[in-house]
Amino acid sequence: MSVVTELGYLGLSVSDLAAWRAYAAEVAGMEVVDEGEGDRLYLRMDLWHHRIVLHADGSDDLAYMGWRVAGPQEFAAMQEKLSAAGIPFTVGTEAEARERRVLGLLKLADPGGNPTEIFFGPQVDTHKPFHPGRPMFGKFLTGSQGIGHCILRQDDVEAAARFYELLGLRGSVEYHLHLPNGMVAQPYFMHCNERQHSVAFGLGPMEKRINHLMFEYTDLDDLGMAHDVVRAKKIDVALQLGKHANDQALTFYCANPSGWLWEFGWGARQAPSQQEYYTRDIFGHGNEAAGYGMDIPLL
């Protein structure tokens, strides 16, 4: 049985590379690596060559998501599993693998049409200490938990859940949120390691493929510092500081230079072994800047 083990990398299409360079370093604290290609920047969060590539091709949306499998055997088994399920994919060429800094990858799309890659063997630059883009007290919490989580557009939540189950994730609806219009939002969260969720969907129609990327600091003071920078720069905050019921992380959501959200977090608990659902968050997460697809009542 081949299963994905982490959300390993992300490609983001951006229009304003200069604004992104400043945001990633000065707001989030990520290490920006410019290898002179001109059309891209790499963002480091740990010892990997990169966790995020910013591609300056202007669509200001998710370009691709990379899910890791352990090694070549799992990579071969995953191809067999996808073929047996009738899911089309292509195996990346050597040049494509080199571009992603991995030993091998395959490319497919999830049921929402989000470009998806499954890879093994990332380039890890153990010789190059992580150097944050601004002073940090701690690190980014990655390791076996991957980058963080993404909330994606999915028109068919059931189809998306079956697809990610095939990849090896587990989960379910984790909230029933009563909306002012009388409807009940039922977002669906899935995990593949100790991180409480690596992907979620089911928040209704979305303009972009992605609503937000969540990443986590190991040190509360880094979250506080990021929050101060966001407020000083008057960056739109869509959801104020608060604590989610499911992952119990202290987080806030602010706009990135592409006009979608990054959720900055700290202190998440690990995924419980059995499913639960909630009707609201623990505290906070008040709605502030509207129009980012997060105008939902979490309290």
For ligand MBD, the binding residues (CB under 6 A) are 151, 214, 244, 246-247, 263
243 binds, among ligand MBD, Fe ion, none (CB under 5 to 8 A by kind): none
- The answer to whether residue 4 forms part of the interface with Fe ion (CB under 5 A) is no
* Residue 61 C-beta-side C-alpha neighbours within 13 Å: 12
Q: Of 64 and 215, which CB lies nearer to Fe ion in the complex structure?
A: 215
Q: Does an H or E element contain 178, and which?
A: strand 177-178
Report the b/e string of 186-223 with b at 16+ CB within 10 A. ebbbbbbbebbbbbbbbbeebebbbbbbbbbbbeeebb
Smallest gap, in angstroms, from Cβ of residue 151 to Fe ion? 6
Under 8 Å between Cβ of 136 and 222: yes
Residue 75, phi then psi, degrees to nearest 5: -65, -45
Q: What is the dihedral of CA 11, 15, 17, 22, to 10 degrees?
A: -100
Q: Minimum Å distance from CB 175 to ligand MBD? A: 6
- Partner touching 4 among Fe ion, ligand MBD, none, CB below 5 to 8 Å by kind: none
Binding mask 231-270 for Fe ion (x = CB under 5 A): --------------------------------x-------
Rounded least distance, CB 2 to ligand MBD, Å: 27
Which secondary-structure segment (H or E) carries 20? Answer: helix 17-22
Q: Which does 247 bind (CB under 5 to 8 A by kind): ligand MBD, Fe ion, none?
A: ligand MBD
Nearer to ligand MBD, 21 or 195 (CB): 195
Structure tokens of 179?
């909306």
CB of 132 to Fe ion, least distance (A): 22
Contact set with Fe ion (CB under 5 A): 214, 263
